[in-house]
Every structure is written in structure tokens, then in C-alpha cells.
Structure 1
Amino acid sequence: MPQHAAVPAGAARHLSLLAVAALIAATAAPGAAAYEYMVGANAYWMPFQATAGDTGNVDTVLDSLQRLGVRLVRTWAFGPDIPYAPGKYSEDSLKGIDYVVAGASKRGMRVLLALGNFWNAYRGPETWTEWAKAAGGGSAGWTGDVVDFYRDPTARRLYKDHLSYMLGRTNTLTGQRYASDPAVYGYDVLNEPRCPGCDPSALADHVSWLREMGSFVESTVSSDIMVLAGTEGFFTPQASESGLVSKNAGAGAGCEGEDVLQITKLGPFDALTAHLYWRHMEHMKSLNWAKPGLELYVDWLDSKLELYTDMAGGLGKPFMTEEFGLTQRFFDAEQRKVVYAVLLSHLVQSKQRGLAFTSALFWNSAHPGWDDGSGYDIDVTRSPTGKTVDLGNPPPAPKQPGGSGSNTSPATPRRTLMHQPLPRRAGPPGGARALAEADGGSNPQDILDAYRRGVARAACAQAAADGWDLTQPGARVDTAAWKARVAGVELVDIIAEAAALLK
């Protein structure tokens, strides 16, 4: 396991929230931990384009990321034919991954590889369940949904075989074995491992699955490679030790079946990981069933970054924002620059103070010819102008409640509405508005369908909605001041400035 700030032997997996708080002071002082700080980028599409023969665009984006100072690239180490049957892999597709890893290494960057996906895109858990059924599994019974993936011993064995195959592979371009390749920064055992609307028994299986797969990867890879859970940063009421459900982005987040504190405490995992998006914000009762706008979201984001940083530091582990971004389907380019500036300013300040927030990977780096329709793509081939926004010295917090928000709901002065409010919808029995609609700005393939327990998650969210409210972050960020700073500055300038300050 990579070395981080020290905690007493065996304590990391048993710390209560009070113990976490007690350790924060010990980890907050400058120089308290020998962390490595960096800006990273997601580029999930790279292996697919490399396999298709479009290595030119892969090289162009890698060159551009290198020019910006990005040092970490996250991508997928799975796909439609990785594998296409148990133990059977497309060599051409594997060589696509080889190409990306070798290309990043050649440019002085490292890679973070996700070994599987909760979502249906490219290779979802339902495939492993189907293969387990064909192989005679079912000793634990079948639920007909993602719980089978976490619970069934045969499905577990097949997925572990996949992990073993991928980690045991040798890169055809570098000769490096993936389990010990210096170019590999870390592995996600699964991207976004949810268990939506799951009961306590299924949640126990979910945690057991993460522990088993994490332990297997930990026992296989070299000690300088990070083992990560790929979590998004939710809190559940079932993991009552956290007591942090009101810190979620909405009532439904507590129904995702992932408690980031509980999972990060598991021995195999080397960092707290989170994926931070406005789309996770939900329609809230106190907002007359609207979603928060930019100002409230940015205040919430600021408070959440602080919470994760303190929590990870207390556990003696780093905190990584594996994914963040703002979709242009709902927000404009200036608002997106504000979100990037606020988050990367946090990262820069974390380095200045020796805190546990160590890396932030934006979603999604792209070239001019790439557009997946989500609104998150960043054309990283644009040349930076050299302008800066002083990320190491953020504007002071607003003095007045409500901060700089100009589109505040008159009924709730501290809360803001989305700049293009969604139509209000009739609520189901009990008064809670429907929370099961697709997240704004999400990938069209990231759908909570029947296999991913969408109905159970919706029922859980609706039951929780009327009694849940967001913990008010207060006026923490001067959004207007940040808007003024980022005006006339390219998004690639903000990324390049952060990378330079983290060297």
C-alpha cells in the first residue's frame, strides 16, 4: 500500500467520525503528509479510438495534456470485448489500452485505470451475471438485478478472473506488466460502484464485494500502485456512523447504496475518491422542488471539498476528485470556468497547507472532432494564453447571506434556482416530487434501469424527500468575484495555472 500520513496500526478501518475529527488537527499542518499533488484528466474514449486506428487524435490530446501540465490520465480498462466471453479478450482492444498507457508514460504522465463499470456502457455488471448463470451459479439465489453481481459467488469469481487477467497482462509496447508498471498510478476496482435502493443484506454484500475485490487487487499489484474503489462520495443512512446524509446533494443520494466513509475505511483502499457534479443535485422541498443554481451549488461544492479533505486526512489517506465538471447543456462557458476555478483553487490551497486533497481529474478531455453529447467535453488542444486567475489566493467569502447570487428564490433568500428552472411536476402520494428522472447532464448510457434497481432507488428517494433537507453551506464563495476573474481567460488557462502551481 502506498505510504500516507500515519495512523495507529489497524486504526484506519475502525475510526469513528469523532476519531476522524480528532485526527484532522494532526494532518492539517503544512508538511504533515508527503502527498503528491496533481491535475488530471479523464479520457475514457482513448483506448477505443486507438483500437480503431485513430492514434493521431490520441497523440494530439496526450500532447496537449502534457503541454498543460496534466500528469494523470484516467481511462477505461474494459470494453465490449474486454472480455467478450469469460477469459476471452480481443487482443486488438487490449493493444488500444497498451497504446494509451505507453503514450502517457512517454510524455511523463501516469494513468489511472478503471477495471470495470457499474453502468451499462461498454461492459456492465449484467454481463457478468449472465455468464455466472451460464456457468451454473446461483447458490445464493437470483434477485434479477445488480445485487446478483455483488452477491453471487460465481459472478465474483468471474470478475476476479478478469482482474487477474488484466493485471497479469504485459504491455505489448513497453514490456511492462500491468501489476507493476510504473506508468500506472492506480486502479479503480469498479467505476461508480452503486447498489441503488438496496436493503441491509444487499448493502452488506456490496461492501463485502468491494473488500474482496480491493484485497485481491492490493495483493496483486506493486506497493506503489494505488488501489481505489471508484466511489462517488455519497453517504447512506444505513452506515449510521457517518451521520452525514444531510451533506449529500439530495435525498436520493442516500439511496445509492454507497457510503464513502465506510468504504474508504476498508483496508485495501488507499484513498477517498469522489465524483463531483451539479447533476447530482436534486429537486428539493425547500426550493419548491427546484434544483439549486450555480451559486448554491458552488457553496455546497466548497463545503464538500473541505469535508472530504478533512475526512481523508483524518484517515491518513489522500482525497482524489476522480471526476468533476459542469455540463454546457445547462450552464454557459463562464459558469463552467467558475466551477473549475473554485475546485482547482481548493487543490492548490491544499498543497499550500499540506492537506489531503491531492488530485482533481476533470471530465472530459477531448479534441475538436469529439463530442459525446454530454456537454462536459473540454477541447484541450486549444493553446493557453498564459493568463492566470490567482488560484492560490481566492476571493474572500461574501459578507452578506446569499453571497453574490442574483437568481435567488424570493421565498427562500439563501437558496438559488437553476438559471433555467425545470418545469414543475405533479408530486406522487405523500407530497414528495418525483426524484427518479434522469440526472441533468448525465451520460445517456448512465441510466438507473431495472437491472440497476431504478424503481427501488426512486421509491427510496421519494420516501426520503419530504423529510430530508440540505445542510446549508452558507455563503462561502464569492461567485461574482470569480466570474470577474475568469472573464477573458480560457478554461485551459485555469487548468495550466493549477498544474504549474502544483509542481
Structure 2
Amino acid sequence: MKLAFLLSVLITAAIALPSNPNNGRASISKVDGTKFNIDGVTKYYAGTNSYWIPFLTNDGDVDTIMSHLQTSGHKILRIWGFNDVKSNPGSGTVYFQLFSSSGATINTGANGLQRLDAVVKAAEKYGIRLIINFVNNWTDFGGMAAYFSACGVNSNEQWYAATRCQTIYQNYIKAVVARYRTSTAIFAWELANEPRCKGCQTSVLTSWIRKTSDYIKSLDTDHMITVGDEGFGLAGDGSYPYQFSEGIDWAANLALPNISFGTFHLYPSGWGVSNSWGNSWITSHAKICKQLNKPCLFEEYGVTTEAQHCSVESEWQKTSLGAKEEGMAGDLFWQLGDTVKSSGQKTHNDGHTIYYGSSDWKCLVDEHVKRIG
């Protein structure tokens, strides 16, 4: 009788215990209306981009950089989950997928996806949430062009619709998703970096986005999915970014059932528009997100003139944060800069880079995080 009574008490107590917010599904980042919920907190979130962090070869360097993001109050980090090559660069160089005319081989070795493992592990340790991107529209780190000889196409436009290309692409997605399917460090899976289809009917990309997002959802019903596009193709002032010439219909793509939130980028100098134009670009996207009841992530932005980093980009941040009740859910500047401890060298400066601890960092990170609260 005593044993039965004790067992009953233990069972009752176990049922009464609250679920641990740091374990399992309770910690999976998710959509909450037009905002994001991370670890049970729904709010506007700040973060950044680091294409290079999965290519570091020292775990301690990855750990240090993640710790800097945590202490700065950043929560979301967007990274490259691709690194495609057409010839083996050797054991000392990181690559994730090797292409030949016969197909693709996924590198799961110490200079392959184990480097991505280190990033995910460090993100878990420091509470950073990762957006992992599967392929590049551009040729940096291989991109769609790396697939061409393996799947018999010669353009990105053909790549989106070619069955063999998409089979190889989905095989890679499956391999990456399987590694981190249960990780709370994953914020979202991202289809591509800045996908375009110049001169295509917008149905080409919308169909590809639908099929790919449906496929990812079949592998992982928990984590969010997003496109990773620049935000082209919507009603506006008629300037180049608002046009549909790059094959993007932004609202149609965001409305797809398995696209969790919208992404858009902002680079005025490359698009032939003014820096101040960027404010209406932000609010135009927010309006659509509000209408569709999905969050907007201001996913990449920057100016190359260092003297303008703070003055220009902080205004965009304020505009985005000011629209947090009108569809905006967060922003990630391009790009993170830091010093690699093992080498003493600074990471890549492409003109947009904001280095940890700099005056620009104080402006665009410390002060921005303080405003968010």
C-alpha cells in the first residue's frame, strides 16, 4: 500500500511540473502573429549576418564570437549552410558539397558539415538562433552555378525547374535538416540567398518556393521556413526594386502556406535609389506582412561608406522598430565583423562590416538593442 501511495504521489507531482522551456518543442522559435516568439518571449528581435562563421576551422573562435553576440543582446544570426565546389580543395579547406558531371557528394567530414555542427553547438550554448540558408543565387561559395554540370543546365533560370537539379538540391536539404531537426538553435530554414529569375514569369519562382517549402515542411514540421529574397516585386513607386523583372512577386510568395515569414534586403547604392528611400521600402513590406498576418524580417541592409554606417543604418533600424505593430518583427544588419582569436586577424570587411566593439557597433547594436528593450 505504501509503495502504491508513493508511486501515485510521484506521478501526480510529475504531471504538475511545468514543461522545461529549454527542452524540446517548447524552445522552438515560432511565429506569433506578426512577431517572433523565442523561448516564450514574443517581441521584436535584433541580429546580424555571418556568411563566414561556418568556414572557421577552430571551435574556440566560433565559441568566442557566439559569446560576443549573446552579451550584446543579439538573438538571431543568419549563416551560409552551403559551400559548394567543383573540385576537391583538400583537407585544410572547408567545403560542404562536391559536384561533378555525375552528381554531388556531401562532405560530412572534419572540413565539411562538422564545421556547421560546431556553429550549431555554439549557438545552442549561447542561446543564439540560426537562419540556415541552403544555396546561393550568386557564384560565391559555389551557388546554383556549381550544380550546372551535374544536372545539365546552364543558367539559374533553368535550375529552378530542372528535375535533376532540384533532386540534388533537395538531397542536400534533407542531409542538413536531418542533422539539426531537433535543435533549438535553428530559427528557420532558408531556401536561397537572394533568389532571382531575371525576365521569368513570377510563377517560376512561386512554384519553386511552394515545392521547396512543402518539401522542407515534410522533413521538419517544427521549425520556420523562409525564402531569403531581397523583397522585389510589390506595389510602390515604380523604381527598380519594386518591379517584377527579377521574377519575384513578394506578396504571392509570402502567402504560400509553408512560408512562415517574409524577408527583404536593402542596398540603395546597388539599386540606384537614395538612402532615405529605404524607409518607405521598409514600411511597404510591413504593410503586406500586416495584411497577411505574417512577420517581416529586415534580413540584410547596409551602406558601403563607413562614415554613413551609423547615421544611415540607425535610421532604417528606427523605422523598422517603429513599425513593430505594423508587420515588422526584426532586423539583421549585413554584416558581422569580429577578430578571430586564434589568428588575431579581423574577419572579412566588404565595406558593410560592423566590427564588434567599434563605435559603429555601439550605434547599431548597443543603442539599437537598448531601444528595443
Q: How does 1:77-476 map to 2 (within 5 A)?
A: 77-80=81-84, 81-85=95-99, 86-92=104-110, 93-133=112-152, 144-169=154-179, 178-198=180-200, 200=201, 203-223=202-222, 225-235=223-233, 242-244=234-236, 246=238, 248-249=240-241, 254-282=244-272, 292=273, 296-298=274-276, 300-327=277-304, 331-333=305-307, 335-351=308-324, 354-368=325-339, 369-382=345-358
What code does the residue aligned with 1:146 have? N
Per-residue deviation at 1:332?
3.6
Conserved 8 A contact 1:249-1:280: no
Per-residue deviation at 1:217?
1.0
SS at match of 2:61: helix
What code does the residue aligned with 2:54 have? P
CA distances 1:151-204 after superposition (whole Å, capped 9, x unpaired): 1111111111111111112xxxxxxxx123111000111111111233x3xx43
Aligned to 1:435: none
Q: Distance in 1 between matches of 2:129 and 2:235?
A: 36
* Structure with higher RCO (Cα < 8 A, 6+ apart): 1
Q: Distance in 2 between matches of 1:280 and 1:259?
A: 20
Conserved 8 A contact 1:180-1:222: no
What code does the residue aligned with 1:259 have? D
Per-residue deviation at 1:349?
2.3
Aligned to 1:387: none
SS at match of 2:78: strand
Per-residue deviation at 1:118?
0.9
Aligned to 1:48: 55
- Closer/same/farther in 2, CA of residues 146 and 249 from structure 1, 3 Å limit: closer
SS at match of 1:75: strand
Aligned to 1:62: 66
Aligned to 1:288: none
Conserved 8 A contact 2:321-2:372: yes
- Closer/same/farther in 2, CA of residues 375 and 216 from structure 1, 3 Å limit: same
Q: Distance in 2 between matches of 1:263 and 1:255?
A: 15
1:502 aligns to 2:372 (yes or no): yes
What code does the residue aligned with 2:275 have? Y
Per-residue deviation at 1:207?
2.0
Q: Distance in 2 between matches of 1:348 and 1:206?
A: 30
Aligned to 1:463: none
Q: Distance in 2 between matches of 1:35 and 1:128?
A: 39
Q: Distance in 1 between matches of 2:106 and 2:309?
A: 42
Aligned to 1:39: 46
Aligned to 1:422: none
Q: Distance in 2 between matches of 1:245 and 1:219?
A: 39
- Closer/same/farther in 2, CA of residues 322 and 3 from structure 1, 3 Å limit: closer
SS at match of 2:62: helix
Q: Distance in 1 between matches of 2:351 and 2:172?
A: 32
- Closer/same/farther in 2, CA of residues 222 and 370 from structure 1, 3 Å limit: farther
SS at match of 1:96: helix
Aligned to 2:342: none
Q: Normalising by structure 2, what TM-score?
A: 0.79
What code does the residue aligned with 1:348 have? L
SS at match of 2:346: coil
Per-residue deviation at 1:35?
4.6
What code does the residue aligned with 1:211 have? R
Q: Distance in 2 between matches of 1:347 and 1:35?
A: 16
Moved more, 90-99 or 266-275: 90-99
SS at match of 2:142: coil
Identity %: 24
Q: Distance in 1 between matches of 2:229 and 2:245?
A: 14
CA distances 1:42-93 after superposition (whole Å, capped 9, x unpaired): 11101101xx33x343333222222211011110111133211424324222
What code does the residue aligned with 2:330 have? S
Conserved 8 A contact 2:106-2:172: no
What code does the residue aligned with 1:303 have? S
Which has a greater percent of strand?
2
- Closer/same/farther in 2, CA of residues 244 and 375 from structure 1, 3 Å limit: same
Q: Distance in 2 between matches of 1:194 and 1:272?
A: 15
